[in-house]
Chain A
Amino acid sequence: MRYLVTLQVNRTSYPVELEVGRTLLSVLRGELGLTGSKEGCDDSECGACMVLIDGRPVNSCSYLALQAAGRQITTVEGLASGTKLHPLQQAFLEHGAVQCGFCTPGMLISATALLAANPDPTEDEIRAGLSGNLCRCTGYVGIVAAVRSAAAELANAD
């Protein structure tokens, strides 16, 4: 059985025809061509596939696409406003938070969710909030610094 549903991704509507077993990640990367979300494992251990669904972080590799229908999905491609980077993206560049970049999309998404729920996190809260995202390059030092810096930036902007 195939179902015609509409996925709302980064404020754009995508009509797609899906079978039950399809994961959200496979649809994002396949039919929708949004390859920013990565596949690093298949059991919610690495976080490279992280997206926001109605503002909450979700491992899209372990989430049925049909369950996302009608919900607001945000991927890394939806963080910037046009050519203007989100403060988190800019901070990642400036603090050495990006090396190979494969964990970066998921890490940015988890950081976005974290700051939305907790605009002024302590270092421990940052580390807990990002703990579902593995990075093999940076030792996480630049990432934690970038999130701290972006939090300050966002607070000043308000």
Chain B
Amino acid sequence: MGGRFTSPTALADALAATAAGHRPVAGGTDLVVGTRQGKWSLPEDLVALDRIEELRGIEETSGGLRIGATTSHADLAGHPAIRKRWTAIADAASIVGSPATRHIGTLGGNLANASPAAETSGPLLCFDAQVEVRSTAGSRRIALADLFNGPGRTTVRSDELIVAVELSELAGVGSSYVRLEFRRQMEIAVVGATAVVSLDGAIVIDARIAITALAPTVRRVAVAEFALVGTDGGPDAAAEAGRLAAEAATPISDVRASLEYRRAMAAVVVRRAVTGAIARARGETIPIPASASLFGAR
């Protein structure tokens, strides 16, 4: 039956194992569930990353953040700098799965899965995150925008490991991530949206808007961003951004929602995400997670 397992404490050993064809496992939440449900077979050989200290943790760098790949969603959601300056990431990380999933599931694992419904991907995309991947041959940086190839597919090679995500500071921005939630907890994104805005006085001078679970990958919607820039970010402008994003979305019909409903909800969550981001940019308090705070907002 085979099946080799290694659980190194040094990154170099993990890279060697990866080069030898071991598949990485961090928290194992997706890997094990997928195996049990017969979605895939457990790979022959595994290398566990959970004992590698240098892969875990959040470090404030000059003008930014470096987040280790095995940092948990709970750690992301609780980090003071993320909550204050990269708030949309905290919005997203604090609503991933259950409390247990948030403790065990890692940022790197989530990125490697490349789910179009991954909560943190939209915020990371809007914050211009860079992903550092490493192999025994060296390391390279991939802009998050270039990481996802399609549902479940990334541009990370099989001999590479995601080791960190780097964020640079965007001055004076407000951000939020909003997800459509059928229940108050234990949800998966059926539709989600991120907005990151910068204001000059009352005017939006920069806007990034991403949609989640509305296309084969999490993606930004330039047309909605352009429309928002130069406006006051008020209700009409937010609604227009939502309308444009919904038009640009390519949703599917499945067991969770119809295409038509998803598209209509795209407009709503984008509008709310913009509203939340604008409010935060103005220094107003929208408690984390924004999805719950903005429930019912017209």
**A59-B5 in contact (CB<8A):** no
Interfacial chain A residues near B32, Cβ < 8 Å: 23, 61-64
B231: interface (CB < 8 Å): no
Interface residues of A in 120-158 (CB under 8 A from B): 127-129, 131-132
Interface residues as binary, B88-105 with A (CB distance below 8 Å gives 1, 0 otherwise): 000000000111110110
Could you tell me the distance in whole angstroms from the C-beta of A9 to the nearest C-beta in chain B? 18
Could you tell me the distance in whole angstroms from the C-beta of A73 to the nearest C-beta in chain B? 13
B36: interface (CB < 8 Å): yes
Interface residues of B in 1-39 (CB under 8 A from A): 1-5, 7, 25, 27-29, 32-33, 35-37
**B98-A132 in contact (CB<8A):** yes
**B104-A58 in contact (CB<8A):** yes
A67: interface (CB < 8 Å): yes
- Given A1-B2, A57-B99, A131-B186, residue A67 in contact with residue B50 (CB < 8 A): yes
**A57-B25 in contact (CB<8A):** no
Could you tell me the distance in whole angstroms from the C-beta of A143 to the nearest C-beta in chain B? 14
**A66-B5 in contact (CB<8A):** yes
Highest count of chain B CB atoms <10 Å: which of A3, A20, A23: A20
Interfacial chain A residues near B103, Cβ < 8 Å: 56-58
**B3-A20 in contact (CB<8A):** yes
B277: interface (CB < 8 Å): no
Q: How far is the CA of A129 from the CA of B103 in the complex (A)?
A: 12
**A67-B7 in contact (CB<8A):** yes
When C-beta atoms are compared, the residue in chain A nearest to B27 turns out to be A63
**B185-A128 in contact (CB<8A):** yes
Could you tell me the distance in whole angstroms from the C-beta of B103 to the nearest C-beta in chain A? 4
Interface residues of A in 1-40 (CB under 8 A from B): 1, 3, 19-21, 23
**B1-A44 in contact (CB<8A):** no
- Given A1-B3, A1-B4, residue A20 in contact with residue B101 (CB < 8 A): no
- Given A43-B37, A45-B186, residue A3 in contact with residue B5 (CB < 8 A): yes
A74: interface (CB < 8 Å): no
Interfacial chain B residues near A56, Cβ < 8 Å: 100, 103-104
B46: interface (CB < 8 Å): yes
**A44-B98 in contact (CB<8A):** yes
**B99-A110 in contact (CB<8A):** yes
> Which residue of A1, A63, A128 contacts B28 across the interface (Cβ within 8 Å)?
A63
Interfacial chain B residues near A45, Cβ < 8 Å: 186
**A44-B7 in contact (CB<8A):** no
Interfacial chain B residues near A61, Cβ < 8 Å: 32, 36
Could you tell me the distance in whole angstroms from the C-beta of A81 to the nearest C-beta in chain B? 25
When C-beta atoms are compared, the residue in chain A nearest to B45 turns out to be A20
**B36-A43 in contact (CB<8A):** yes
Could you tell me the distance in whole angstroms from the C-beta of B13 to the nearest C-beta in chain A? 16
**B36-A59 in contact (CB<8A):** no
Could you tell me the distance in whole angstroms from the C-beta of B192 to the nearest C-beta in chain A? 19
Interface residues as binary, B200-219 with A (CB distance below 8 Å gives 1, 0 otherwise): 00000000000000000000
- Given A1-B2, A64-B28, A67-B48, residue A59 in contact with residue B35 (CB < 8 A): no
A94: interface (CB < 8 Å): no
> Which residue of A21, A47, A66 contacts B98 across the interface (Cβ within 8 Å)?
A47
Q: How far is the CA of A114 from the CA of B104 in the complex (A)?
A: 15
- What are 21 A-B pairs at a CB distance below 8 A? A1-B3, A20-B46, A21-B3, A21-B35, A23-B32, A42-B36, A50-B100, A57-B99, A57-B103, A58-B104, A59-B29, A62-B33, A64-B28, A67-B7, A67-B50, A69-B7, A128-B99, A131-B98, A131-B185, A132-B99, A132-B101
4 tightest A-B CB contacts, nearest first: A132-B98, A131-B185, A20-B3, A57-B100
